[in-house]
């Protein structure tokens, strides 16, 4: 996030949520937004009546609190955002000072946006032109405004362009680098921000230092005393393709369950079968563990010491609350032990004299010392400060620095903010005669992804015991499906059987499924088409057909087995 949660809750005059089911997937932030939205008088002046606009193809819970719900078709975000920008420019509501001083590329962007009259945008998105006009006015009249997004924006073949489009809108309104503004991706996993910050990506070392930059490579080689590659690695989805082709022969899977969470599971199964050697390190024996040669038991977050970095870039100290069961150890301990054994076996070379050579960390504070030394954005986030209770949001360039609650104040990290000229491109697969419905996928409040953890929580299982697929009453009627009946959903890649939840949360033509139940996970159906830059799969759009499953029900997913 460019801004902070409290800042948004207290200062945003207009909150624009696009592609985030905030109350179900980020309930704390969702609650704060509902409080900010309610009338000023309602509770001791804490609620200050901010405007709320929600753009989501489904009538999610937060849409019921919104001043406006723009219920666009999945995969049409660029057209919607360009339509909003068209109105803002036409009415002269853009922030000329900000654009002149802080940005570049305005003219190219403007040229594209000119085509997206509210009528054109309405035609593509299905949102009434009047609502687009109204939303643009609300954003212009209520500044600073913030934009929040999540997977509804990123999980598309145009994921990167979608994100750029969100940034365009906020720069146009001058909503960047100010309290209550910003472009705010709500991060998903509790420590996904930390994992990315510390190099858990195939193209960067810690602090987003590029692996392809020779000077960076040399810095880490000297620090660690090991030779390093200057080439980018593969993303998860690419790894599985490479495994299928025989280019990846060994997979070490830590805290990931691709046999439920990756797109096109029949293909994932095949790729895992082609892989010579698989190690799975997890809390539990997962669907992916079925394919493993070795399973390593990992300790969970309550069983270890360290830090997590949350969605607002805040580094938080985590304290061990209970001992890990059985032989389980923390992930960092296991990885370090593996590395030591590889050196002992002669499989890797190590210059023992390098300043950060080896993996002999006595405490997490030792790990943080190394992070401080090698990672400019974390340089001032020392364990001493964290233990004293300092609340630090990166970048923190030195130990005296107070942290950075708001990014891009006065200047963007790249200097000028660049407007990107982006045009609507339809999703890779759209409904047709054979597969006439669109499927979008995601989560519900009661479960977490493949459910490895939440299916073990009795109360959550009681609240949401089986897979449900949302379908509009009209489509259900056409397919002869009643609420609660089993239906079969089929795509070009596979099929699932799950109970129908007949509801007008989805419009006719759209169904919604989760991947919380392994046997009927949406990923048997999803399209593995990737965004060319971010390599994120198009989980949010594919084409399917549905039928009543009572006749001809098939157990499990037999296609491709
Ligand atoms: N309870 C619970 N909470 C979670 C998780 C969980 O599994 N369970 N997972 C966590 C993780 S890792 C993540 S990444 C986040 C995800 O959090 P979110 O991204 O909020 O959740 P999703 O359900 O994936 O999708 C968000 C919304 O995108 C909408 N959508 C679908 N297609 C489109 C589209 O084309 N455009 C737009 N604008 N919207 C679209 C969906 O209707 C949905 O409301 O949640 C985190 N929080
Ligand atoms: N169709 C569809 N598919 C999706 C998505 C979607 O919206 N639609 N969203 C995608 C997104 S955003 C995400 S983040 C992924 C999530 O997909 P995954 O990351 O595969 O799912 P999780 O259940 O979060 O985590 C996987 C495993 O981590 C284990 N685990 C938990 N804590 C620890 C730990 O401390 N150490 C170790 N070693 N293991 C641990 C759990 O037991 C679990 O088995 O799914 C993606 N897949
Ligand atoms: Mo995620």
3-state SS, residue 450: coil
Residue whose Cα lies nearest atom 42 of ligand 2: it is 283
Cα 345 to ligand 3 centroid, rounded to whole Å: 37
Range 415-437 average pLDDT: 97
What was the pLDDT predicted at 557?
44
Query: Which of 17, 21, 69 most suits a substitution to test ligand 1, by most atoms within 8 Å of the C-beta?
Result: 21
Phi, psi of 187 (to 5 degrees): -75, 150
Indicate left, alpha or beta for 555 from its phi (over 0: left) and psi (-120 to 50: alpha): beta
> For residue 554, is pLDDT > 50?
no
The CA–CA distances, whole Å, from 154 to 33, 326, 530, 531 equal 22, 39, 11, 9
CA distance 235 to 541: 20
Burial code (b: 16+ CB inside 10 Å, e: under 16) for 506-515 equals bbeebbbbbb
State the residue for tokens 């805040």.
Answer: 314
Range 187-199 average pLDDT: 96
The CA–CA distances, whole Å, from 384 to 2, 204, 364, 387 equal 26, 27, 12, 5
> For residue 41, is pLDDT > 70?
no
CA dihedral of 166, 170, 173, 176, whole degrees rounded to 10: -170
3-state SS, residue 204: strand
148-190 pLDDT tens trace = 999 999 999 999 999 999 999 999 999 999 999 999 999 999 9
Say if residues 517 and 553 touch (Cβ distance below 8 Å). no
State the residue for tokens 């209970």.
Answer: 322
3-state SS, residue 279: strand
What was the pLDDT predicted at 44?
57
Say if residues 65 and 34 touch (Cβ distance below 8 Å). yes
Range 470-487 average pLDDT: 97
* 538 Cβ neighbours under 8 A, 6+ residues apart: 155, 156, 157, 263, 427, 428, 429, 526, 527, 528, 529, 530, 531
> For residue 107, is pLDDT > 60?
yes
Range 436-458 average pLDDT: 96
Atom of ligand 1 nearest to the CA of 60: 44
- Reported confidence tier of residue 46, pLDDT bands at 50, 70, 90: low
- Tokens standing for residue 2: 């460019």
Range 366-377 average pLDDT: 97
pLDDT above 70 coverage of the chain, percent: 96
Identify the bridge partners of residue 146 per DSSP, sorted by sequence position. Answer: 15
> For residue 48, is pLDDT > 80?
no
Atom of ligand 2 nearest to the CA of 284: 42
Question: Minimum-distance ligand to the CA of 151?
Answer: 1
- Reported confidence tier of residue 481, pLDDT bands at 50, 70, 90: very high
Cα 168 to ligand 2 centroid, rounded to whole Å: 31
Give the sign of the dihedral formed by CA 303, CA 308, CA 311, CA 315: positive
Answer yes or no: is the C-beta of 185 below 6 A from any ligand 1 atom. Answer: no
Answer yes or no: is the C-beta of 153 below 6 A from any ligand 1 atom. Answer: yes
What was the pLDDT predicted at 556?
43
* 328 Cβ neighbours under 8 A, 6+ residues apart: 283, 297, 298, 299, 300, 303
Identify the bridge partners of residue 18 per DSSP, sorted by sequence position. Answer: 55, 149
pTM as predicted: 0.95
* 118 Cβ neighbours under 8 A, 6+ residues apart: 83, 86, 87, 129, 130, 132, 133
CA distance 101 to 105: 12
Cα 448 to ligand 2 centroid, rounded to whole Å: 8
What was the pLDDT predicted at 237?
86
The CA–CA distances, whole Å, from 421 to 90, 139, 169, 205, 293 equal 17, 21, 12, 30, 48
What was the pLDDT predicted at 560?
38
3-state SS, residue 128: coil
| Neighbouring C-beta atoms of residue 353, cutoff 10 Å | 7
Answer yes or no: is the C-beta of 53 below 6 A from any ligand 2 atom. Answer: no
Say if residues 154 and 538 touch (Cβ distance below 8 Å). no
What was the pLDDT predicted at 236?
87
Give the H/E segment covering residue 197. Answer: helix 192-197
Cα 52 to ligand 2 centroid, rounded to whole Å: 30
CA distance 191 to 540: 23
386-403 pLDDT tens trace = 999 999 999 999 999 999
- Tokens standing for residue 172: 């146009």
What was the pLDDT predicted at 550?
80
Answer yes or no: is the C-beta of 29 below 6 A from any ligand 1 atom. Answer: no
* 255 Cβ neighbours under 8 A, 6+ residues apart: 281, 282, 298, 331
Say if residues 65 and 21 touch (Cβ distance below 8 Å). no
Atom of ligand 2 nearest to the CA of 442: 7
Domains and CATH numbers, the chain: 5-185 (3.40.228.10), 192-387 (3.40.50.740), 437-548 (2.40.40.20)
What was the pLDDT predicted at 303?
97
- Reported confidence tier of residue 443, pLDDT bands at 50, 70, 90: very high
What was the pLDDT predicted at 558?
44
Answer yes or no: is the C-beta of 513 below 6 A from any ligand 2 atom. Answer: no
Atom of ligand 2 nearest to the CA of 283: 42
287-345 pLDDT tens trace = 999 999 999 999 999 999 999 999 999 999 999 999 999 999 999 999 999 999 999 99
Say if residues 182 and 417 touch (Cβ distance below 8 Å). no
Answer yes or no: is the C-beta of 19 below 6 A from any ligand 1 atom. Answer: yes
| Burial of 227: CB neighbours in 10 Å, binned 0-12, 13-18, 19+ | exposed
* 142 Cβ neighbours under 8 A, 6+ residues apart: 13, 14, 50, 51
Answer yes or no: is the C-beta of 102 below 6 A from any ligand 1 atom. Answer: no
Answer yes or no: is the C-beta of 308 below 6 A from any ligand 2 atom. Answer: no
| CA end-to-end distance (rounded Å), the chain | 42
- Tokens standing for residue 242: 């490479």
Angle CA 77–468–19, to nearest 5: 15
Cα 225 to ligand 1 centroid, rounded to whole Å: 42
- Reported confidence tier of residue 456, pLDDT bands at 50, 70, 90: very high
Range 356-364 average pLDDT: 91
What was the pLDDT predicted at 209?
98
Angle CA 134–139–142, to nearest 5: 120
What was the pLDDT predicted at 553?
45
Cα 450 to ligand 2 centroid, rounded to whole Å: 7
Q: What is the mean pLDDT of the chain?
A: 95
- Tokens standing for residue 513: 């499924």
> For residue 497, is pLDDT > 90?
yes
- Reported confidence tier of residue 45, pLDDT bands at 50, 70, 90: low
Query: Which of 186, 192, 254, 256 most suits a substitution to test ligand 2, by most atoms within 8 Å of the C-beta?
Result: 256
């Amino acid at each position: 996030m460019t801004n902070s949660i409290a800042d948004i809750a207290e200062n945003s005059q207009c909150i624009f949520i696009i592609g985030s089911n905030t109350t179900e997937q980020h309930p704390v932030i969702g609650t704060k937004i509902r409080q900010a939205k309610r009338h000023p008088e309602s509770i001791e002046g804490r609620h200050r009546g901010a405007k709320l606009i929600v753009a989501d193809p489904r009538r999610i819970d937060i849409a019921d609190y919104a001043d406006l719900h723009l219920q666009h078709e999945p995969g049409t975000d660029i057209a919607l955002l360009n339509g909003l920008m068209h109105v803002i420019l036409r009415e002269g509501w853009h922030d000329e000072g900000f654009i002149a001083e802080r940005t570049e590329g305005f003219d190219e962007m403007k040229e594209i946006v000119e085509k997206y009259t509210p009528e054109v945008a309405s035609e593509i998105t299905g949102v009434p032109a009047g609502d687009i006009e109204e939303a643009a006015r609300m954003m212009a009249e209520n500044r600073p405004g913030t934009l929040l997004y999540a997977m509804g924006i990123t999980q598309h073949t145009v994921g990167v362009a979608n994100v750029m489009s969100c940034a365009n809108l906020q720069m146009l309104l001058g909503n960047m680098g100010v309290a209550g503004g910003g472009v705010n991706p709500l991060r998903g996993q509790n420590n996904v921000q930390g994992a990315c910050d510390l190099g858990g990506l195939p193209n960067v070392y810690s602090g987003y230092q590029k692996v392809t930059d020779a000077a960076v490579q040399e810095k880490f080689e000297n620090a660690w005393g090991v030779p390093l590659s200057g080439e980018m690695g593969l993303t998860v989805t690419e790894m599985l393709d490479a495994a299928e082709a025989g280019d990846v022969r060994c997979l070490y899977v830590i805290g990931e369950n691709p046999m439920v969470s990756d797109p096109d599971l029949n293909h994932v199964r095949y790729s895992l079968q082609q892989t010579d050697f698989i190690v799975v390190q997890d809390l539990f024996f997962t669907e992916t563990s079925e394919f493993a040669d070795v399973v390593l038991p990992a300790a969970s977050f309550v069983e270890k010491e360290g830090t997590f970095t949350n969605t607002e870039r805040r580094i938080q100290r985590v304290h061990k609350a209970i001992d890990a069961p059985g032989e389980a150890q923390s992930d960092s301990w296991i990885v370090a032990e593996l590395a030591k054994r590889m050196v002992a076996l002669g499989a890797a070379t190590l210059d023992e004299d390098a300043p950060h050579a080896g993996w002999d960390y006595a405490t997490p504070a030792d790990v943080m010392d190394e992070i401080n030394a090698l990672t400019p954005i974390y340089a001032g986030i020392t364990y001493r400060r964290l233990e004293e209770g300092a609340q630090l949001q990166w970048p923190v360039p030195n130990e005296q620095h107070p942290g950075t609650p708001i990014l891009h104040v006065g200047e963007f990290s790249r200097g000028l903010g660049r407007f990107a000229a982006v045009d609507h491109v339809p999703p890779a697969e759209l409904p047709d005669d054979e597969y006439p419905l669109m499927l979008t996928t995601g989560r519900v409040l009661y479960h977490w992804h493949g459910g490895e953890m939440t299916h073990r929580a009795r109360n959550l299982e009681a609240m949401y015991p089986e897979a449900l697929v949302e379908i509009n009453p009209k489509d259900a009627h056409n397919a002869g499906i009643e609420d609660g009946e089993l239906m079969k959903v089929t795509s070009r890649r596979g099929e699932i059987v799950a109970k129908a939840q007949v509801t007008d949360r989805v419009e006719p033509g759209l169904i919604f499924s989760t991947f919380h139940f392994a046997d009927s996970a949406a990923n048997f159906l999803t399209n593995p088409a990737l965004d060319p830059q971010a390599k994120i799969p198009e989980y949010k759009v594919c084409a399917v057909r549905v039928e009543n499953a009572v006749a001809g029900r098939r157990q499990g997913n037999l296609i491709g087995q």
